[in-house]
Structure 1
Amino acid sequence: MNPELTLNLLAALGIGFLGSSHCLVMCGGIASALQLSMPPLAPLQQLKLQLMLSLGRVTTYSFLGALTGAFGAAVLVKLGISLFWLKVVAGLMLLLMAFYVARLWFALTLLEKLGSALWRKIQPLAKALLPLDSSSKALAYGLCWGFLPCGLVYSSLGWSLASGSALQGALLMCAFGVGTLPAMLAVGRFAQRLSRFKNKQWVRVSAALLLALYALYTIAIAIAPRLF
């Protein structure tokens, strides 16, 4: 694995974790409702269903990452669009994510509105799977859940677009999804504490600064070959 891809995967993992405070707000209610829809089971069995849910969601993220990565590669080859522009777009999307996490500018909500049309078609399929009384249902619901409109997911997909291949795009989105797992698997008092911690202003600002720095780094490595 090349050093740049390794760094990108670690960054995607961190972005998923740092951005998961938004996941707790947007998806936490869904996760709680789904937990209530599960039949009374032993704690380990409930954890198994929750893990299947998350596996489905991360699988969808990876699939979308593969699609965008493959599209980016096809654009590069067939339309002659330089990787430079795709990396610049990826950096700008990461900057938008930084503003989003810091709650300074919510431009990514426009992307969420565009994605809501697809979600309206998928949502009935997801509802038909309730109650989640088997691993197969939980996995299928998770696959649907991955299409829930989310600005953080869309900005990460913009990053996958510049990855140059379907495999790297899938790996980036998989790492992002894994980064969100601690927040999404947290339950009860721990989830409340994690949510309060991540919503503190200094935590949000620190996360946004780290995202902004990585966005500028992404743009810089795209521009550098043209300057030197």
Structure 2
Amino acid sequence: YNFPPDCAIAEPYLDDFNYLSADFKGQMSLIKNRYLNAAHHVDRQIGRVTAYLAGKGLLDNTIVIVLGDHGEEFMERSERWGHAAEFNRYQTSTVAVVRVPGAKPQVISGITSHLDIPATVMPLLGVRNPPQDYSQGQNLLAPDFRRDYAVAADWHRVAYIGEKYKVAFPTNARGAVRMEVLDADDRPVVDREQAKAEIRQETVEMMNNLTRFSRPRG
């Protein structure tokens, strides 16, 4: 969460942020302001890049993608701060902006995935193969775009994230301790087995796809 002083748009913020000694509960609002200032600093750098492209006459011939790799939680839904710890909306939702020269502005709602980026960009570069040949994603710009679920993972679990359920499956013993079944609003589901039964077909597809582009070891 680093930024120069002139990027401080959210105040007050925690001036000295030490991960080991911070009082996360007591100082979370100050920590979040520090994050917002750092994000503003990143925005400025993006502005520098686009201004350079425009100045060189390249912007109208360049696909620009601004994409976060994860969200960030500030104890809104749990006792956790940061990312890579939960599959709730705060940690899995992220900014995504794709600027395509000549394309009309549009907003894509519903579930999307980082996996959709290659499937969106490659056709713009002249690739005619269907996205299934090289990706597990879909073309975000296709008129019929719809994703039924997304896949996310942390160090110990892989998760199905759909419109109705979020289900985490363990990949090792540590993941088994925190196998969660949540609804779309990140609340625990009472009938966990029923929820898993409803997504059984999607779960099989998800697990098969995990190794689809992996080379067998030998």
Which TM-score band (shorter chain)?
Answer: under 0.3
When you count strand as a share of all residues, which structure comes out higher? 2
Higher relative contact order (CA 8 A, sep 6+): 1
Q: Which has the larger radius of gyration?
A: 2
